[in-house]
């Protein structure tokens, strides 16, 4: 069974999800499709020109505290990024062509939320990719636009999201449920 | 150890939380303080004049599907209310003076989300209370205003929320974590 993992490199809660998903999916025998996309156009369609965590300060303050608790539990380093949200456009484009998209994506999340690096910096991305990130980014412009369109068509409105057999789950805290759904679907059809 | 349970009678995710909390807290030896409040003034302060689930349709559609999965898992009936969100003002005022606030609150949630009753109807509320709800509502106007002010002071921006020893948790899906926090705090101080 396939689980689509929809993530945005600027999204805080996508960080623990990206770090947890391979282990959980492998233990359950579920295949993960890594699907980076951009939340910016989706938020803009809702009238937001910034992260809701910046637009609504009480929500933002809570989110950072909630993230601290989650990362402590998962043994993940968490440092406030150089800015929030970071510009994730280039990273998402590069990810779409990366030979190891899972490894590349995890390294971008670590750069953003653990190492205080600028993930819109070509040098940072090239270093992670092990090749010139500018060429990769240019090659995948159209692919990222299509991917974000597919996210909207799936009804996705936030990140991380998981889609299993047409069923949508939103949030790092729904990862276990999405994986359980995938294993149950497999039993139903098998 | 005391866990403050902050809930809003119009809030969908407060329904499963209200139905689960007594059982989980009792098993953990945690005391629950039932704290009904109004989200309306808090949303209005953020510029929202309706539920975000109505303002953002993709989010709303997801919420109802997510609620269906949660209620199925918990063995709770879920029917779309007579309107969403319902006017919860009277119910919250009555709750603040109800002899059995937990029992009254659970019955209001059942009326709203399982029985398709109008929870702003005095007859519905009087029937649940077993007394004239109009007198109770009138007596608790100021108490509810103060309670909602306290919610804002706690940094609460949504429902359900849980506060343990100054630590805020938001969402039905954080209930287990809030209870675990309460039992750990007790060990720390005991």
ipTM at complex level: 0.94
Q: Phi first, then psi: give them for residue A163, nearest 5 degrees.
A: -125, 125
Cα A121 to Cα A90, A112, A138, distances in angstroms: 8, 11, 14
Cross-chain CB nearest to B56 (options A156, A157, A171): A157
On the question of pLDDT at A19 being above 60, the answer is: yes
What is the pLDDT confidence band of residue A190, given thresholds at 50, 70 and 90? low
Give yes or no for a contact between A166 and A153, defined as CB atoms under 8 angstroms apart. Answer: no
CA A97 to mean position of chain CA atoms: 16
Q: Residue B23 has what pLDDT?
A: 98
In this prediction, residue B190 has a pLDDT band, given cuts at 50, 70 and 90, of low
What pLDDT does residue A46 have? 85
Interface check for A168 against chain B (CB to CB < 8 A): the answer is yes
**What pLDDT is attached to residue A10?**
98
Give the residue-averaged pLDDT of A122-151.
Answer: 96
* Confidence (pLDDT) at A189: 66
- Any CB–CB contact under 8 A between B127 and chain A? no
Which residue out of A52, A62, A72 would a mutagenesis test of the B interface target, given it has the greatest number of B Cβ atoms within 10 Å? A62
The answer to whether the Cβ–Cβ distance between B62 and A173 falls below 8 Å is no
The answer to whether A56 contacts B157, with C-beta atoms less than 8 Å apart, is yes
Of B59, B62, B157, the CB nearest to A62: B157
pLDDT confidence of B185, banded at 50, 70, 90?
Answer: confident
Evaluate if residue B126 carries a pLDDT over 70.
Answer: yes
Please judge whether A168 and B56 are an interchain contact, meaning their C-beta atoms are less than 8 angstroms apart.
no
In the three-class reduction of DSSP (H, G, I as helix; E, B as strand; rest coil), residue A84 is classed as: coil
Among B100, B101, B80, residue whose Cα is nearest residue B92: B101
Give the pLDDT score at A47: 86
pTM: 0.95
Residue B47: the pLDDT is 86
| Whole-number pLDDT of residue B86 | 97
Q: How far is A46 from chain B (nearest CA, A)?
A: 7
The pLDDT value recorded for residue B46 is 85
When pLDDT is averaged across residues B18-28 and rounded to a whole number, the result is 98
pLDDT in tens, B79-102: 999 999 999 999 999 999 999 999
On average, the pLDDT of chain B sits at: 96
The answer, yes or no, to whether residue A63 has pLDDT greater than 90, is: yes
Percent of chain A beyond pLDDT 90?
93
For the beta sheet containing B31-36, the strands, ordered from the edge strand earlier in sequence to the opposite edge, are: B31-36, B2-7, B161-164, B167-170
């Amino acid at each position: 069974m396939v689980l689509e993992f929809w993530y945005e490199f600027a999204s805080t809660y996508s960080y623990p999800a990206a770090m947890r998903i391979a282990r959980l999916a492998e233990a359950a025998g579920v295949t993960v499709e890594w699907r980076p996309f951009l939340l910016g156009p989706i938020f803009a369609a809702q009238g937001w020109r910034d992260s809701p965590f910046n637009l609504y300060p009480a929500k933002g303050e809570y989110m950072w505290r909630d993230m601290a608790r989650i990362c402590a539990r998962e043994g993940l380093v968490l440092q406030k990024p150089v800015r929030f949200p970071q510009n994730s456009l280039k990273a998402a484009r590069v990810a779409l062509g990366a030979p190891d998209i899972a490894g590349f994506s995890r390294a971008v999340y670590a750069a953003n939320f653990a190492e205080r690096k600028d993930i819109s910096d070509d040098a940072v991305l090239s270093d992670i990719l092990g090749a010139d990130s500018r060429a990769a980014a240019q090659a995948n412009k159209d692919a990222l636009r299509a991917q974000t369109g597919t996210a909207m068509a799936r009804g996705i409105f936030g990140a991380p999201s998981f889609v299993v057999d047409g069923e949508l789950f939103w949030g790092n805290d729904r990862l276990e449920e999405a994986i359980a759904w995938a294993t149950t679907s497999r039993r139903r059809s098998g």
